[in-house]
Copies of this chain bind each other. A is one copy, B any other.
Amino acid sequence: MPKQVDHRERREAIARALWRVVDLRGVQHLSLREIAREAGISHGQLQHYFASRQALLTFAMDFAAEQTTQRISRSLEQLGDPPHPRDVLRLTLTEMLPLHADARATSRMNAAYVLEALHDEEVLARTRDAMAKGRAQMEGLIRRAIADGHIDSTRDPATETDLLLALTGFATLIELRVIDPQDVLKAVDQHLDRLFDQ
């Protein structure tokens, strides 16, 4: 196996170990030592792949975002060509919620990463940029849907984007079992039904 590929694969395996620690035991255990133990390698070996806790967290977040994008792309392929903007928004939003195991791991890691970002300017800048980019893509989609007559032209694309993104607040309500997943999907559909004319 080429050395570059091997290096990347090992980094991904370590990132998956980090997800498992966050998912199964909580952000309180997010130390390099605990992650090395979960990955079945020594603390020294882990440091060979990641110089710092922050470097590992950042890689794990990027890797998770990549996996989420791939999941969404695979599902989009089954939605028709071109897919209806309502379906694209529904899929994007629901994949950000902890409604299945992979999305749950990503959602929990995100929550941990957000708390980390509040006290680390570099992590904050990276997280903010990534979310702002995602927000801009969603707003672009809504603007096109308005131009194509799917959404009423009196709607403000920026405000509609903000309201959709805010619905990621369902993540906590699902995790704490305050709202059932089926009721969450019903509410999301209700919101989208009111947004789209056709």
Binding site for B on A (CB under 8 A): 24-28, 30, 108, 111-112, 114-119, 124, 127-128, 131-132, 135, 156, 158-159, 162-163, 165-173, 175-179, 183-184, 186-187, 190-191, 194
Contact = CB atoms under 8 A, between A and B. Distances in A.
Contact of A124 (B116, B135, B165, B176): B176
Given A25-B119, A176-B128, A183 B162 contact: yes
Nearest to A29: B119
Given A25-B119, A169-B166, A114 B187 contact: no
A40 to B, nearest CB: 22
Given A132-B178, A163-B167, 15 more contacts: A25-B119, A26-B119, A28-B30, A28-B115, A28-B119, A111-B114, A111-B115, A124-B177, A127-B176, A131-B173, A131-B176, A135-B178, A169-B169, A169-B170, A169-B171
A98 B115 CA distance: 14
Contacts of A169: 165-172
A31 B62 CA distance: 29
Of A111, A114, A176, the most chain B CB neighbours within 10 A belong to: A176
A184 B179 CA distance: 23
Contacts of A187: 159, 162-163, 166
A131 B168 contact: no
A166 B172 CA distance: 9
Contacts of A128: 176-178
Of A114, A131, A162, A183, the most chain B CB neighbours within 10 A belong to: A162
Contacts of A131: 173, 176, 178
A127 B172 CA distance: 11
A176 to B, nearest CB: 5
A115 B178 contact: no
Contacts of A183: 158-159, 162
